[in-house]
Amino acid sequence: MMFTATSPSTGPGSPRVVGFYEEASGSIQYVVVDEATKKAAVVDVVLDFDPAHGRTRTDSAQYILDYIRAEGLEVEWVLDTHPHADHMMASAWLKEQTGAPNAIGEKVREIAELWTGIYNVPGMFDADRDFDRLFADGETFKLGELDVKVMLSPGHTLGSITYVVGDAAFVHDTFMHVDAGTTRADFPGGSSKVLYASLQALLALPDDTRLFVGHDYPPVGDRTDPAWEATVADHRANNKHMGGGISEQDFIKLRDERDATLPLPDRMLHALQVNLRGGRLPETESDGASYFKIPANKF
């Protein structure tokens, strides 16, 4: 049984948001529902991966699809906020299962170019092939009758985007929950200075905007359950790293010192070569199997 929590719609123009916690990677996956039309989007859904055995599964994604079907919803969008380093994305599988288009930010092209060099795999990544939509900063689209706006929110990666749906914003790896602070900015293409600017832009959203984060790693203090929702006002006042109006200089120092102590996620070098293909494994070889390419001594 997956840990879940529902944030109800607050009225017309406001989505219902259901979060599903994937414990192995600390990821929160979302179903976003337009109550008027029963159209839904899925955001940052996980393709399960066992790094010890190199094995993928679709258990988490299937659990979410089962919820969608039980609720009588129709998937209109398969969305990701960035090419994740800590889990594989289920984008390609969900597109196959639902027929809905999959999407991510347009700067994934630049991320792909960066990682093409790290993996030394010319021609392996093609975002225009593997995603149906590549959203630009400020672009808008519809989820049922709801307006969705895309905000470029780099820092964790150079191409991370936020989806703002009415009074809900899916802020991925920018903020953590208020009692945990913010996310790391030391991956290739990341920047704590750029992340600070993205955080300030999110804090400029209306006070009652519900911010839904990408990860949680309990226990945190006295809290043992995962948590992922808080308002802009709550983050502005109480976020462990940003609350109270911390200066850019102090944030950069705090974030960079913290990041220097963190190991790479154990799925990162596997996940990026899948996520930059929209959640597809590397092409099969002559024996019909896919193989991961892991760079040695680069990190």
pLDDT digits (tens, 9 = 90+) for 36-82: 999 999 999 999 999 999 999 999 999 999 999 999 999 999 999 99
Q: Any alpha helices (H) in 220-277, and if so which ranges?
A: 232-238, 248-259, 268-275
Model confidence over 250-273: pLDDT tens digits?
A: 999 999 999 999 999 999 999 999
**Region of 170 on the Ramachandran plot (φ > 0 left; ψ -120 to 50 alpha; else beta):** beta
Q: What is the 3-state secondary structure (H, E, C) of 234-249?
A: HHHHHCCCCCCCCCHH
Read off the pLDDT of residues 187-226 as tens digits, 9 standing for 90 and up: 999 999 999 999 999 999 999 999 999 999 999 999 999 9
**Rounded Cα–Cα distance for residues 275 and 45 (Å):** 12
Domain boundaries, the chain: 3-264
Tell me what pLDDT residue 179 has. Answer: 97
Q: According to the model, what pLDDT value does residue 68 have?
A: 98
Q: Give domain 3-264's CATH number out of 3.30.420.40, 3.10.290.10, 3.60.15.10, 3.40.50.300.
A: 3.60.15.10
Name the pTM for this structure: 0.97
**pLDDT tens-digit map of 94-123:** 999 999 999 999 999 999 999 999 999 999
Length of the chain: 299
Task: Work out the average pLDDT over 144-152.
Answer: 98
Which tokens go with 108? 């994934």
| Residue 127: pLDDT over 90 | yes
User: Cβ atoms within 10 A of the Cβ of 266, count?
Assistant: 14
Give the amino acid at 199. L
Average pLDDT rounded to a whole number, residues 132-144: 98
The answer, yes or no, to whether residue 1 has pLDDT greater than 90, is no
